[in-house]
Amino acid sequence: MKNCINIAFVLSFTMSFYCDANQSIPNDFVTINTFIPEALFDIKYHSKDNFVGEVIDGYNADKCILHKAAANALMSAYRQARDAKLNLKIFDCYRPQRAVNHFIRWVNDLNNTATKHNYYPNLAKNSLLGPYIAAKSGHSRGSTLDLTLVKKVNGQWQELDMGSAFDLFDPLSNTENSNISELQRKNRLLLKKIMIEAGFLDYDMEWWHFTLKNQAYPNHYFDFEVL
């Protein structure tokens, strides 16, 4: 690939690819804000409304960017939601490697617990590394996104009750957690059904997290900025 560096990770015996930080968006990536303009966008890492509490490196616009295959699958999910008189609300899509590095710096700073109450009230910060925050993220491959469903209430889009907030690092966010209500479970399973039928795989620890089953770049981690 143009402008990419091939790095062998000896410990994992896998090959990964990081793209030049100055690279523009690849030709086979799509900006979902224009591809599915009817969807709602609340790109959390372009704001301070996230578990770090500040705008994340590489998020210079409130845009959702995905590989075109994931974009087409997401269009299918959108149409399913629309047919059910619902809509998609998207929190995160492609994530630059520099943003992942920002997360790693945050999680390793054990003295910074300013967001603990809202995002990991029942877990020690050092336990987040691995199951919730990793040094390499599937988001950086361009085929993973975080989202929820919304419905119209008095003319305004309102999130369905999923039983926990986006990015709550807690067992309560596990899709099949037994402590949520029947309605909350129904809503989570509806989102899962829509996304799986569109071609995505779910992550059972986070009800909002989905990855395209057939990724275009399963071993690539891009680092171009969201602009």
Question: Average pLDDT of 2-18?
Answer: 42
Structure tokens at 227: 């602009």
Task: Count other Cβ atoms within 10 Å, centred on residue 186.
Answer: 12
Torsion sign across C-alpha atoms 130, 12, 27, 104: positive
d(CA 110, CA 6): 32
- pLDDT digit string, tens, across residues 63-80: 999 999 999 999 999 999
Domains, the chain, with CATH or none:
26-217 (3.30.1380.10)
- pLDDT digit string, tens, across residues 128-164: 999 999 999 999 999 999 999 999 999 999 999 999 9
d(CA 62, CA 56): 11
Given the residues 54, 159, 176, 206, the one annotated as active site: 206
Question: Average pLDDT of 75-88?
Answer: 98
d(CA 128, CA 54): 18
Q: Is 97 left (phi over 0), alpha (psi -120 to 50) or beta?
A: alpha
Structure tokens at 222: 């891009």
Catalytic status, residue 206: yes
- pLDDT digit string, tens, across residues 13-68: 344 555 555 578 999 999 999 999 999 999 999 999 999 999 999 999 999 999 99
Tell me the H-state helices in the chain: 32-35, 68-83, 97-108, 116-119, 182-197
Q: Which of 217, 219, 117 is nearest to 169 (CA)?
A: 117
Look up residue 151 and give its amino acid. Answer: K
pLDDT value at 8 more than 60: no
- Residue 19's pLDDT is what? 55
pLDDT value at 4 more than 90: no
pLDDT value at 5 more than 50: no
Distances in whole angstroms, Cα of residue 101 to Cα of each of 96, 107, 196? 9, 10, 29
d(CA 145, CA 139): 7
- Residue 27's pLDDT is what? 96
Question: Average pLDDT of 95-110?
Answer: 98
CA angle 81, 45, 122 (to 5 degrees): 90
- pLDDT digit string, tens, across residues 177-223: 999 999 999 999 999 999 999 999 999 999 999 999 999 999 999 99
d(CA 169, CA 177): 13
